[in-house]
Amino acid sequence: MNATRFPIRTFLLFALLSAADFAFTWHLLARAGSHYEANPVANWWLGKFGWLGLAMFKALTVLTVASLVALVGSRKPAAARNLLRFGCAAVGVVVAYSAFLAHPKRAEARGSEQSEVARVTAENARMDGRLRENAEYRAMLNRLAEEVVAGRMSLVEAVDLLAAMRTAQDPLWHDGLKRAYPQLHARGRIAATIVQHSLRLPDRFPNAVREIPRLRAELKAMCGVDVPLDLEHFLSVA
């Protein structure tokens, strides 16, 4: 195909569309940062050689299409023109879609979606953290109650350990203890919680019934007053 028969205008359109495709790709990936290169070959070039590599890939694509059009057009000019038109249409669709993604209103909506996703992700992480903290708190409470009932740890030491936990820093947790033991100070409430926990799990702490006098004495020593304990859970099984 000689120069007069080569579809120069159509080829220039194809080259411009390819350049626009590269520009939109850079905008959406480098600036917006919320998309990815869908073409696996182009994505490999981008990952391996960066933006210069992707530009080289686009340029090689244009040169390859030009060579193919010239080769086909040397025998079938009409087929070469149709091939180039198809290439323009294919790249044009990609450019149009990229322009849609890059539209300011679309970007604003995408930003809102990302904010909502980030909010939900943060809320899920917060809930997971609370569940993990609660599980750690229950495990610690069980261990401390067991140690206090067995006499391997004093009630004062157990209170220190439980008060140091993250759950014990939660005002809502303290509000619950205040409703249960309104007559006690903060440390007294924690001590009463440990003792009462051992009595509410008779299957786990079967020796607690023999230790009730000692536990009450330790609790009174900490609180300065006699603390009424609910023995219903324990006595119903003991």
Q: Is the pLDDT of residue 161 over 90?
A: yes
Rounded Cα distance between 63 and 154, Å, is 83
Task: Find which of 83-92, 96-105, 151-160 is predicted with most confidence, using mean pLDDT.
Answer: 151-160
Per-residue confidence at 103, pLDDT binned at 50, 70, 90?
low
Q: Per-residue pLDDT for 218 more than 70?
A: yes
pLDDT attached to residue 108: 56
Higher pLDDT, 59 or 201: 59
DSSP string, 163-205: HTSSGGG-HHHHHHHHHH-TTS-HHHHHHHHHHHHHHS-TTT-
* Secondary structure tally for the chain: helices H, strands E: 9, 0
Neighbour tally for 11: CB within 10 Å: 20
A 10 A CB-CB count for 225 gives 11
Domain extent listing, the chain: 8-102, 127-235
User: Where do we find the tokens 């099984």?
Assistant: 237
- Identity of the amino acid at 97: Y
pLDDT band at 10; cut points 50, 70, 90 = confident
Instruction: Please tell me the least confidently modeled range out of 98-107, 125-134, 192-201.
Output: 98-107
Q: What is the pLDDT of residue 229?
A: 74
Phi-psi region of 153 (alpha: psi -120 to 50; beta: other; left: phi over 0): beta
| Contact call for residues 188 and 158 (beta carbons, < 8 A) | no
* Angle, alpha carbons 224-227-229 (nearest 5°): 160
**pLDDT score of 157:** 93
**Distance separating alpha carbons of residues 208 and 191, to the nearest angstrom:** 15
Mean pLDDT, the chain, whole residue set: 79
Given a cut of 70, whether residue 30 has pLDDT beyond it is no
